[in-house]
Structures are given as structure tokens and as C-alpha cells.
């Protein structure tokens, strides 16, 4: 397990503001990740003072990508320049949005790797993700990601 205090998110994800939907990695192992995100008023996915469903799905995808991104680093290399990765959602198997958080809320996303296939040029992963505001479940989803190392 990586020390979450040493994790620089930009090393694990290609996203940059204004499209970065994670603030902090709270836990990161080979099979699980937990991340936090503060919803700000100027976020691209804020509508009528609420973070919308597409923002929640993007937050889930970025959370899930962190698990796969981790495999391209050594545990002692998390503060380096990072891998050159490209990734995308290849399938959304199931998504249920229960509620949208208000601006100013901090959401916690928890993802778990359920299966993974690696080839020489890419990885395909299935993951489950649940997003909470405090103890309230906001979104539950199952998705597939494809990640390619560009090095």
C-alpha cells in the first residue's frame, strides 16, 4: 500500500484542472482506492448549485483509473514524473444516481477492481465504484476502463 500523504494525483491521472475531479487519494492499493473531492462553484459539472450526475460518473471513472494507474509505478516512485498513460471508459455496465451533492460538499469515492486483463500494450479492467457524501450514497456504478501506456 502506498502512503497516501505522498501521492501526487497528477502522476496517476492525465486530467488537469478544470477537468480533474479528485483532490486527494485517501487509500490506494492494487485493488482498492478511496478519494475525496470538494465540489466548487466553478466546476464544469455544477448546475443550479448542484454537482450533476455526469460529474459523479466522471469522478467515479477518475477514481477507478487511479487503481490501474498505480500499477505503472513502483511504490517508492509516486512523487516522480509519472507514467504517460491514456485511458477511457470502454463500457458503463450499470449506473444508479441517487442524489446530487450541493456546491461546498466533499464527496468520497470508493472503488474496487473486480477483474483485469493486461496485454503488452493495454489493460482492460472492470471496477465497481460507490460515491458518498457523509453516509449518504450518491452514486453506484460498474464500469470498464481501457488504459494504454504511451511510453
For the segment 36-84, what is each residue's pLDDT rounded down to a tens digit? 999 999 999 999 999 999 999 999 999 998 887 777 665 555 554 555 6
CATH value at residue 74: 3.10.129.10
Calculate the alpha carbon distances from 96 to 39, 105, 146 in Å: 20, 20, 22
| Domain housing 98 | 4-149
Q: What is the number of structural domains in the chain?
A: 1
C-alpha cell at 3: 502512503
Report the share of the chain in percent with pLDDT over 90. 62
Which pLDDT score, from 0 to 100, does residue 138 have? 98
pTM, entire model: 0.88
Cis peptide before 61 (omega within 30 of 0): no
pLDDT interval class at 149 (50, 70, 90): confident
pLDDT, tens only, 3-21: 556 567 776 677 778 889 9
Amino acid at each position: 500500500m502506498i502512503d497516501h500523504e505522498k501521492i501526487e494525483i497528477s502522476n496517476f491521472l492525465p486530467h488537469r484542472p478544470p477537468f480533474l475531479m479528485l483532490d486527494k487519494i485517501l487509500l490506494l492499493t492494487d485493488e482498492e482506492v478511496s478519494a475525496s473531492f470538494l465540489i466548487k462553484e466553478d466546476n464544469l459539472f455544477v448546475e443550479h448549485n448542484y454537482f450533476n450526475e455526469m460529474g459523479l460518473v466522471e469522478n467515479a471513472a477518475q477514481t477507478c483509473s487511479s487503481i490501474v494507474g498505480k500499477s505503472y509505478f513502483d511504490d517508492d516512485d509516486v512523487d516522480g514524473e509519472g507514467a504517460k498513460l491514456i485511458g477511457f471508459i470502454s463500457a458503463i455496465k450499470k449506473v444508479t444516481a441517487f442524489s446530487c451533492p450541493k456546491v461546498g460538499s466533499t464527496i468520497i469515492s470508493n472503488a474496487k477492481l473486480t477483474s483485469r486483463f493486461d496485454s503488452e500494450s493495454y489493460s482492460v479492467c472492470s471496477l465497481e465504484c460507490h460515491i458518498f457524501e457523509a453516509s449518504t450514497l450518491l452514486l453506484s456504478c460498474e464500469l470498464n476502463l481501457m488504459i494504454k501506456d504511451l511510453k
